[in-house]
Chains A and B, each alone.
Chain A
Amino acid sequence: MQLTGADIVVKSLEAEGVEYVFGYPGGAALHIYDAFHRQQEVEHILVRHEQGATHAADGYARSTGKPGVVLVTSGPGITNAITGIATAYMDSIPMVVLSGQVMKPLIGYDAFQEIDAVGISRPCVKHNFLIQDVEDIAATIKKAFHIATSGRPGPVLVDIPKDITAHVAEFLYPTTVDIRSYPEVPKAQPAEISIAVEAVLNAKKPIVYAGGGVVLANAQAELRSMVRKLGFPCTNTLMGLGAYPHGDPLFIGMLGMHGTYEANKAMHDADLIVAVGARFDDRITGTLDGFAPNAKVLHIDIDPSVIDKNIKSDIAIIGDAKEVLELLNQEIARRESEINPELTKDWWSTIAEWQGFDSLWYEHSDTVIKPQFVVQKLHEVTGGEAYVTSDVGQHQMFAAQFYGFSDTHKWINSGGLGTMGFGLPAAMGVKFAHPDADVACITGEGSIQMCIQELGTCKQYDLPVKVINLNNRYLGMVRQWQEFSYEKRYSNSYMDSLPDFVKLAESYGHVGMKIESPADVEGALKEAFAMTDRLVFMDFITDREENVYPMIEAGKGHHEMRLRPNKK
């Protein structure tokens, strides 16, 4: 079949089973937009800003495990998309970004809306391509999807000069890909597995530390059965929340800068750390000098480069988390009689002491809304079943600490890059993927204003997302750091001249609510979630100076947590 390059692009997406493409048109992409107009198989979603397109595709990807797809034009189109591409890159999210480029003969002449998209995206993509010939379009898109979704996933950019999308070629979508230099994921070796199990069976102070890799690999079932079989304490990173269910007696809460006292203390005192799909980044380890001085480290990851990068491992198993955990589970089952709960008995009583401290405690108020309280009520009203996206700041940490996730793919936040503006467009992507599920975006009045124009997209496509704005009239997380480290010099952390969010939501055609009293929180949430066909923007006026505790300040270790001062 002879087709134009533009039709080949769209047909290739169809062949990949793409449902939605999030994008924004412009000159260099117009042939492709024309091709979208000619067909019905792949739906194009028009956002309001290219950053929104990337976050929406990202939310779609995180909540489904399928790659998110983005289409933007050259120049400002792709530069606007960079923040979202980098966000996906830092959290290893599969994404394919197609960008229009100026015509091939104009490349290098500073043509109108020309930017070196391959160059500007290079540090934040897994790989990228500049297509040189119409004959290469289908094969390149095939490669892009393969690279984005295999191994450690990540975003891949395909830059397509405009003239090439007008050229004609035979369309034949390849069924296989062979990229000689693209490494295959190594398989775990039996010797490594038995060394690992030996260490596990002898541990007296073990901790299982599961990260986003478990979510990406869909390895939650294998993780849970391993942890339960061994009876070990388990913690999740911010990216791994839901991998081990909240509320389970073996779960000791989130780890890291704002993790629980017990999780961080247990990491510090452990004699064996079983790290699965986690990368020991600085928000997890605190200062490396004092990190887990007595622990043996068993590190399981699909990406060899994270092994020994921050923390030297004693046993490393490179492979897909699901497969490795399955092998470990088989070996543990074979040696089941050697599991000795007595070994970890003292450890569990130490942990129980730490848990008794109740590090997430906060003082409830009858007069002012505590942000934590809103998140707890949100859990109740949604039965803990909602997809929750968030922005970046205190509200993100309150969401992580208090929503209580018991499933993977439901907690959707920008952990690695920490991108304010992520929450609302990500929630749109989630809602497209799960139209019947509750989708809440927990945000702050600072973050929401970074991509607030996407309220228009929500209206256009009828996306009844619930926006939970925890409005403290401060860039709260910045203010908290300034309170702790800069003697309360609140330099530029104050949000002045806020819009009337209720009217703003209404002007976009949505429902707005302002909630000022703790007594109204639950009722308002119930009312909002009962409106299943409307986007409700809930502006919760919260305690101005609430802080996130516990906190490991930058440069401190796990044993140097800052705890809530006025506790009981």
Chain B
Amino acid sequence: MRHIISVLLENESGALSRVAGLFSARGYNIESLTVAPTNDPTLSRMTIVTWGDERRIDQIEKQLFKLVDVAALQDITINRHLEREVVLVKVGLLGDPADSKLELERVTSVFNASLLDVTDTLFIAELSGSSEKVDEFIKALSAHTIVEVARSGVTGLSSTERALTAR
């Protein structure tokens, strides 16, 4: 089962490597990992997408909590939650650029994505959505020449009243 674990980390140097090191040392899977400061400058919020059976996820949570830099954590997938990922896709314009452009604009608007940059040869689109939607968007564009893709990895929030807080 896929799980999204939100972690509040002390904003200390080395905290990220402790988490990354834990996952590699214990052979836990990481599908994606994002981290950035929060509104409290002493804390970062990390979102880890991982998978495993119940016991494995239980171990992951307990091992994470043992790290001195981890202030709080929550598996947001056990309740109602929101997840978002941002993707930037750079597509090459082939054949008749005007035709290509039209077709790409159509795909972009179907997905509610935005056009960030268009030149005579390139087209860069941005989409924010669930990982599935991002997958579909990339698939829809793959009829064209995808030059490169940059995905942010998942971030998310529980949509319950409960917030992740440090002591």
Contacts and interface: CB of A to CB of B under 8 A. Distances in A.
B135 to A, nearest CB: 34
Interface string B74-115: 000000000000000000000000000000000000000000
B40 to A, nearest CB: 11
Contact of B71 (A118, A180, A308): A180
Contacts of B55: 308, 312
A182 B166 CA distance: 11
Contacts of B17: 119, 122
Interface stretch (B58-66, B125-133, B146-154): B58-66
Given A180-B166, A181-B166, A312-B55, A127 B68 contact: yes
Contact of B25 (A123, A147, A307): A123
Contact of B66 (A122, A179, A305): A305
B14 interface: yes
Interface in A170-208: 179-183
A127 to B, nearest CB: 4
Contacts of B10: 180-181
A130 B15 CA distance: 12
Contacts of A147: 68
Contacts of A128: 14
Nearest to A309: B59
B70 A181 contact: yes
A305 B59 contact: yes
Contact of B68 (A182, A303, A308, A309): A182
A303 B59 CA distance: 12
Given A122-B18, A304-B65, A130 B58 contact: no
Taking each of A119, A127, A305, A308, which has the highest tally of chain B beta carbons within 10 Å of its own beta carbon? A305
Residue among B17, B21, B66, B68 with max Cβ neighbours from chain A (10 Å): B68
B62 A304 contact: yes
B68 A118 contact: no
A62 interface: no
A476 to B, nearest CB: 31
A183 B65 contact: yes
B12 to A, nearest CB: 9
A305 B70 contact: no
A258 interface: no
Contact of B21 (A122, A126, A304, A309): A122
Contacts of B69: 181
B39 interface: no
Interface in A83-117: none
A135 B132 CA distance: 50
Band of interface residues on A: 20 to 34
Nearest to B69: A181
Contacts, number: 45
Interface in A299-314: 303-305, 307-309, 312
Nearest to A143: B68
A152 to B, nearest CB: 8
Contacts of A308: 55, 58-59
B167 interface: yes
Contacts of B167: 180-181
Contacts of A123: 21, 25
A250 to B, nearest CB: 33
Interface centre among B10, B62, B70 (most CB of A within 10 A): B62
B121 interface: no
A118 B18 CA distance: 10
A181 B66 CA distance: 10
Contacts of B119: none
B154 to A, nearest CB: 23
B13 interface: yes
Contacts of A303: 66
A122 B25 CA distance: 11
Contacts of A180: 10, 71, 166-167
A404 to B, nearest CB: 36
B150 to A, nearest CB: 27
B95 to A, nearest CB: 49
B10 to A, nearest CB: 5
Nearest to A126: B68
A278 B66 CA distance: 18
A119 B24 CA distance: 14
A181 B72 CA distance: 7
Nearest to A122: B21
Given A123-B21, A180-B167, A118 B65 contact: no
A449 B58 CA distance: 43
A303 B25 CA distance: 19
Nearest to B68: A127
A126 B166 CA distance: 20
Interface in A414-453: none
A126 B69 CA distance: 11
Interface in A194-227: none
A10 B69 CA distance: 26
B8 to A, nearest CB: 8
A288 to B, nearest CB: 12
B14 A118 contact: yes
A312 B167 CA distance: 30
Contacts of B14: 118, 122, 128, 130
Contact of B13 (A130, A183, A304, A307): A130
B62 A305 contact: yes
Interface string B143-167: 0000000000000000000000011
A305 B63 contact: yes
Interface string A382-407: 00000000000000000000000000
8 contacts: A122-B18, A123-B25, A127-B68, A180-B71, A181-B68, A307-B62, A308-B55, A312-B55
Interface of A: 118-119, 122-123, 126-128, 130, 147, 179-183, 303-305, 307-309, 312
Interface of B: 10, 13-14, 17-18, 21, 25, 55, 58-59, 62-63, 65-66, 68-72, 166-167
Which 8 A/B pairs are nearest by Cβ-Cβ distance? A181-B71, A305-B62, A127-B68, A304-B62, A180-B167, A181-B10, A182-B68, A305-B63
Given A305-B59, A307-B62, 18 more contacts: A119-B17, A122-B17, A123-B21, A126-B68, A127-B68, A130-B13, A130-B14, A179-B68, A180-B166, A181-B10, A181-B70, A181-B71, A181-B166, A183-B65, A303-B66, A304-B62, A308-B55, A308-B59
